[in-house]
Amino acid sequence: MKKKLFIFTNESIFFQDEKYFCDNIDLKSSPEGLNKKFEVNLFGRKSSRKRAHEIKLKKLKIFSNIFSYLSEVIKSTKNDNTKFLVISISPYTFLICLFLRLYGKTPIVYLRSDGYGEYKAILGSIGIFIYHLMFSFTSLISNLISCRNYILRGKKGKVVSPSQLDSVWLKKQKNQEIKNFKLLYVGRIRVEKGIYSLANLIKNKRDISLTIVGAEKNTSYKINQSNINIQLTQSNKARLIKYYDDHDIFVLPSFTEGHPMVLLEALARRRPVIIFEEIKHVIGNKKGVFITQRNFLNFFGTLNHIKKNYKKIQKDMMKNKLPLNKEFNEEFAKAIDDFK
């Protein structure tokens, strides 16, 4: 008999026609993958807006306010032979960790990104202080799993290597030649993701176009530039792969990242990646990733370097050994199961 695994997230989940949807692909794939090892029960916040990815789980609950959410958290503590996984640290999940501990359970907290950097990008110095308080207390009462060792900030925890890749991502990469620069960004349109900074960087540059794949339905964005094309979040794998194949260079403008899935996707399609200095730690030993500064002169120089050496760069990228989603699910399940 499978152990129960209760997963708590701050992410918004949309319900329609007896189906549940989210925007973050990791919130779909990780619980689905863990469901092979555990009996997964997923809990999240109720969304009034349509989301992109259908979550294929039998046991899923969403809540419109923190009080009903915490009530369900308390009920869950009555289950024996159960583990409790909390995804990321936010005010919501911080309270969930606190209540789990008050009721005699030790939460397992999965840190997918550097909260210090995210809260700084959103709230400035006060954001760092707020996150530090939540992180410091959470780390005292929880077991930690992270996608990067530095995110643990010296605390004891397990490190895993997330991936959404399967064999389809590695097949039949399309050759490309650069004429005008066709840039791609896949991800959420958020301040902390640096997308507004990137948009400003290429403003009024006629030989540079950018496609953003990450818009939510029924939402307007403050990006109105003729060289920027905004598309909805894409849940169809074949269509998403085509976006990568139809563009020359992938840009990841985030101010903070832990283990970005989109970087792996771009490398799988042999598209060079440009990042900025704040997240240089994501490179590791990967070929085809280039660091630039947040000014147009340096950024344009990096673009031209990639253009002049495109074929050689793509050849070097064939040496990359990229993790697969199946391997990650097994690693993640073992990390959770190892906590007693």
Residues 60 and 158 in one domain: yes
Task: Name the 3-class secondary structure at 100.
Answer: helix
Domain range for 69 is 4-163+326-338
What tens digit of pLDDT does each residue of 272-303 get?
Answer: 999 999 999 999 899 999 999 999 999 999 99
Helices (H), 124-181: 125-141
Residues 313 and 331 in one domain: no
Per-residue pLDDT band at 175 (split at 50, 70, 90)? confident
Residues 152 and 174 in one domain: no
Token pair 């919501």: residue: 92
* pLDDT on residue 173: 83
CA distance 174 to 183: 16
Per-residue pLDDT band at 222 (split at 50, 70, 90)? confident
Residues 151 and 174 in one domain: no
What tens digit of pLDDT does each residue of 5-59 get?
Answer: 999 999 999 999 999 999 888 999 999 999 999 999 999 999 998 888 899 999 9
What tens digit of pLDDT does each residue of 101-128 get?
Answer: 999 999 999 999 889 988 998 899 999 9
Q: Is 100 exposed, middle or buried (0-12, 13-18, 19+ CB in 10 A)?
A: buried
Domain total of the chain: 2
Q: What value does the mean pLDDT take over residues 175-192?
A: 90
Residues 149 and 198 in one domain: no
Q: SS3 string of 32-65?
A: HHHCCCCEEEEEEEEECCCCCEEECCCCEEEECC
End-to-end CA distance of the chain, in Å?
17
What tens digit of pLDDT does each residue of 145-154 get?
Answer: 999 899 999 9
100 pLDDT more than 90: yes
Q: Tell me, what CATH number does 280's domain have?
A: 3.40.50.2000
Q: How many CB atoms lie within 10 A of CB 164?
A: 21
CA distance 290 to 128: 28
Q: What value does the mean pLDDT take over residues 80-88?
A: 94
Per-residue pLDDT band at 2 (split at 50, 70, 90)? confident
CA distance 236 to 215: 15
CA distance 200 to 222: 11
Residues 261 and 150 in one domain: no
Residues 9 and 150 in one domain: yes
Q: Is 322 exposed, middle or buried (0-12, 13-18, 19+ CB in 10 A)?
A: middle
CA distance 166 to 36: 17
Residues 331 and 295 in one domain: no
Query: In 3D, which of 36, 59, 269 has the Cα closest to residue 171?
Result: 269
Residues 311 and 187 in one domain: yes
* pLDDT on residue 121: 84
174 pLDDT more than 90: no
Retrieve residue 52's tokens.
């992109």
* pLDDT on residue 259: 85
Under 8 Å between Cβ of 178 and 307: yes
Residues 46 and 31 in one domain: yes
Under 8 Å between Cβ of 233 and 213: yes
218 pLDDT more than 80: no
CA distance 20 to 285: 38
Residues 176 and 107 in one domain: no
Q: 83: part of which helix (H) or strand (E)?
A: strand 82-87
* pLDDT on residue 340: 80
* The model's pTM: 0.85
* pLDDT on residue 192: 87
Q: Measure the CA angle with vertex 281, ends 314 and 177; round to 5°.
A: 20
CA distance 145 to 107: 11
Per-residue pLDDT band at 252 (split at 50, 70, 90)? very high
* pLDDT on residue 199: 95
Residues 200 and 122 in one domain: no
